[in-house]
A and B are shown apart, each in its own frame.
Chain A
Amino acid sequence: MPMHVGLVHFLVVSAVLFSLGIYGVITRKNAIMVLMGIELILNAANINFIAFTRFGTMNISGQVVAVFVIILAAAEAAVLLAIVLNIFQQMNTVNVDEVDKLKN
Chain B
Amino acid sequence: MAQTIYQSFGYVLPEAVLSIFLILTLLTALAGKRRSKYLPAFMALLGFVVAGVFVFQQIGTDELVFSGMYAVDPFSWFFKIIFLVTGILIVIFSIQSRELDAVSTKYAEYYSLIISLTIGAFFMAGASNLLMMYLSLELVSISSYILSGFTKENPRADEASIKYVIYGAFSSGLMLYGISILYGLTGELNIYALNQVFASGALSQLTVLVAIVLMLAGLGYKISAVPFHFWTPDVYEGAPVTVSAFLSVTSKAAGFAMLIRFFKIAFINVGAQPAMAGMWVIFHGLNWTDIIAVLSVLTMTLGNLVALWQSNMKRLLAYSSIAHAGYLLMGLVTLTDQGISAMLMYFVAYLLMNLGAFYIVMLVANRYHTEDIEGYSGLGYKSPYVAFALTVFLFSLTGIPPTFGFIGKLYLFAALIRTNYIWLAIVGVLNSVVSLYYYVKVVRYMYLVQPEDRSRIDFGFGTNLMMTVLMVPNIALMLYFSPVLSWAEHSVLMFGLR
Chain B residues contacting A79 (CB-CB under 8 Å) are 142, 145-146, 165
Q: How many A-B residue pairs have CB under 8 A?
A: 129
Residues of B in contact with A, size category: 35 or more
Q: Please, how many angstroms separate the alpha-carbon atoms of A81 and B159 in the complex?
A: 14
Please encode chain A, from 33 to 49, with 1 for each CB lying within 8 Å of some chain B CB and 0 for all others.
Answer: 01101100110111011
List residues of B (139-168) whose CB comes within 8 Å of A's CBs. Answer: 142, 145-146, 149, 152-153, 155-156, 158-163, 165-166
Whether B234 pairs with A103 at a CB distance below 8 angstroms is yes
Chain B residues contacting A51 (CB-CB under 8 Å) are 184
Kindly name the residue among B134, B173, B177 whose own CB sees the greatest number of chain A CB atoms within 10 A.
B173
Residues of A in contact with B, size category: 35 or more
Q: Please, how many angstroms separate the alpha-carbon atoms of A38 and B141 in the complex?
A: 15
Chain A residues contacting B179 (CB-CB under 8 Å) are 45, 65
Q: Given A41, A52, A59, which contacts B177 in the complex, CB threshold below 8 Å?
A: A41
B187 within 8 A of A: yes
Whether B135 pairs with A38 at a CB distance below 8 angstroms is no
Q: Given A42, A49, A102, which contacts B159 in the complex, CB threshold below 8 Å?
A: A102
Whether B166 pairs with A25 at a CB distance below 8 angstroms is yes
Whether B180 pairs with A48 at a CB distance below 8 angstroms is yes
Q: Please, how many angstroms separate the alpha-carbon atoms of A91 and B279 in the complex?
A: 54
B27 within 8 A of A: no
List residues of B (168-183) whose CB comes within 8 Å of A's CBs. Answer: 169-170, 173-174, 176-177, 179-181, 183
Tell me the interface secondary structure of chain A in the complex.
Answer: helix
The list of the 4 closest CB pairs from A to B, nearest first, reads: A58-B187, A48-B180, A41-B173, A102-B234
* Contact A44 B177, CB 8 Å, known A56-B184, A83-B145: yes
Chain A residues contacting B189 (CB-CB under 8 Å) are 61-62, 65
Chain A residues contacting B142 (CB-CB under 8 Å) are 75-76, 79
Q: Please, how many angstroms separate the alpha-carbon atoms of A51 and B181 in the complex?
A: 11
Give A residues with C-beta under 8 Å from B.
11, 14, 18, 21, 25, 31, 34-35, 37-38, 41-42, 44-46, 48-49, 51-52, 56-59, 61-62, 64-65, 68-69, 72, 75-76, 79-80, 83-84, 86-87, 90-91, 96, 99-104
Q: Given A41, A56, A61, A104, which contacts B174 in the complex, CB threshold below 8 Å?
A: A41
**Minimum CB distance partner of B146 in chain A:** A79
Whether A101 pairs with B155 at a CB distance below 8 angstroms is yes
Subset of 17 A-B contacts with CB under 8 Å: A35-B169, A48-B183, A48-B184, A52-B183, A52-B184, A56-B187, A61-B183, A72-B138, A76-B142, A79-B165, A80-B145, A83-B161, A83-B165, A90-B152, A91-B158, A102-B237, A102-B238
B20 within 8 A of A: no
B233 within 8 A of A: yes
Whether B131 pairs with A42 at a CB distance below 8 angstroms is no
Whether A102 pairs with B160 at a CB distance below 8 angstroms is yes
Whether A41 pairs with B170 at a CB distance below 8 angstroms is yes
**Minimum CB distance partner of B152 in chain A:** A86
